[in-house]
Structure 1
């Protein structure tokens, strides 16, 4: 029969925990009963017995703080995800603290596994009155696995899931885990950076880490500023969950450059402000602090 993203990703996850001698795709109950690990069939969820199905009546299992029902790969990830991530990091000889593992565990669920849970359980991504402005359905992991039912094999589909997971995890490790302490320190010193405590000074600040530490420190960061390679200073307005900016740079500054920007803003050494208001550049750090003072008045 057809295979789906759920069981293909589940196979990858289980392979990070156990040496699997063989995989049998079957609905024969005798074979299911004799198997060491059962995924997505059998109408039983039992962590201790390594039974991971979600089709049975009364199934109500969720990841922490999620409203999306788990499927087989979600169950495995919830129950063994931290161990899986630790194993992957150990292979790269990366030693991390428990809070980093928790951060990685939450991130990989929210950015990958939850989408598989939602798709497999038929959970709509948007409420009924919302309509997407364009389709991404042909480029999703689900669609790629679905195509392989016609032009590939189950093992190829498992390899696609492995590649997707590992690419996301390696990118996350590079951009977030390695910067964890650095960004933590930026948050700890944010009131020294600016009296509002709502901006950070630092380059290569990952949005993932900003989101995480905003929850840790119960704060709302509006701007990040930094010295550029050309030695000028930039300031970026941060986004909400989508493309909308929390607080764009002043509308009357947008699209202006050089002397015109300096005169309109009342801040010397202006270079430019992007027409969307997400980015501004001035020649000095002192000018950037003036920008923040104007954008975050007392």
Structure 2
């Protein structure tokens, strides 16, 4: 059999045996996942990443494979890049519901790779398929490395900033439920993970940060879970949809700029004003 003569076999052959570099997931009884709390069944992409991803991350970061930052990026890159490929390849729904989605997303990586294949009424010769395969390799490899580099240069530094701000939260407000980002950075994913790791109780309800474009301050309500629009404690209903002087008068706080109709975010001209908005919001039932 030709497959027996190959050094590495991916996605065919019906065998998962990393000692022999056989990485297929189509055989009956295959139920392997990435571990680390993930339950999504692996595709061949996930299988390869599970066994070689840590080594790849370490090489790109020029760190020892046992370094804590390598492990953090290895797991997060699976969560935010590879897992979706596994789930789509295995036909796993994104949500546990029988309802149809409200909208369709056809711009994910798997969809873009699929669009590289010849259409049903085009030339589908082996030569064309091979060209499409190589184009898919270039597309996927480029995006994977871009994502990895972003985690190294932007994601990790942001995590350190959020951790420091969590440690200092009670200096901002004794409740510990208001987080001040003195320097804006991507904070949402880090906040949820760090709250668990640091056993934060009570959970953080509002995050304050400066809008660097207009130098105003934002008050953002933390969502109930990552990726959801519902907030743990939305900003007060009487303030929602109001702006400027009207909002300042209703809230009893100088310098108010706006409050979104959904109550997930508001703004003030100053940090003191934004902090007062968050403190008053905590008191609303």
Shorter-normalised TM range: 0.7 to 0.9
CA RMSD of aligned residues (A): 2.4
Per-residue deviation at 1:72? 1.1
SS of 2:25's equivalent in the other structure is: coil
Q: Secondary structure at the match of 1:154?
A: helix
Structure 1 counterpart of 2:11: 40
Task: Report the alpha carbon displacement of residue 47 of structure 1 after superposing the two structures with TM.
Answer: 1.9
How far apart are residue 246 of structure 1 and its match? Answer: 2.7
Equivalents in 2 of 1:258, 1:55: separation in Å? 59
Give the 3 Å change call, closer, same or farther, for CA 36–97 of structure 1 in structure 2: closer
Match of residue 30 from structure 2: 59
- Kept in 2, the 8 Å contact 1:176–1:208? The answer is no
CA distance in 2, matches of 1:181, 1:99: 13
Structure 2, gaps ≥5 residues long: 119-127
**Cα distance change on mapping 1:97 and 1:177 into 2, 3 Å:** farther
What is the CA–CA distance in structure 1 between the aligned matches of 2:65 and 2:166, rounded to whole Å? 20
Cα distance 1:269–1:96, how it changes in 2: closer, same or farther (>3 A)? farther
The one of 214, 218, 223 equivalent to 1:234 is 218
Q: Distance in 1 between matches of 2:66 and 2:115?
A: 40
TM-score by length of 1: 0.80
Cα distance change on mapping 1:89 and 1:49 into 2, 3 Å: same
State the 1:95 CA deviation.
8.4
The answer to whether the 8 Å contact 1:227/1:233 transfers is: yes
Structure 1 198/87 Cα, relative in aligned 2: closer, same or farther at 3 Å? same
**Does the C-alpha gap of structure 1 residues 238 and 259 become closer, same or farther in structure 2, counting only changes over 3 Å?**
same
The answer to whether the aligner puts 1:212 opposite 2:193 as a matched pair is yes
Q: Could you list the per-position Cα deviations for residues 228-265 of structure 1 after superposition, in whole angstroms to 9, with x for gaps in the alignment? A: 44444321222332222332211211222233222211
**Aligned residue pair count:** 265
Is the CA contact 2:45–2:82 (under 8 Å) kept in the aligned structure 1? yes
TM-score, L = length of structure 2: 0.83
Corresponding residue to 2:247 among 253, 261, 276: 261
Provide runs of 4+ in structure 1 moved above 6 Å.
94-97
Q: Counterpart of 1:8?
A: none
After superposition, the Cα gap between the structure-2 partners of 1:231 and 1:117, relative to the gap in structure 1 and judged at 3 Å, is: closer
Q: 1:224 to 1:95 in 2, by over 3 A?
A: farther
Residue from 115, 120, 124 that aligns with 2:93:
124
Counterpart CA distance in 2 for 1:59 and 1:187 is 42
Going from structure 1 to structure 2, the CA distance change for 1:205 and 1:247 (only over 3 Å counts) comes to farther
Cα drift, residue 128 of structure 1: 4.3
1:166 counterpart = 2:145: yes
Partner of 2:157: 178
CA distance in 2, matches of 1:110, 1:190: 28
- Structure 1 unaligned residues grouped into runs of 5+: 1-28
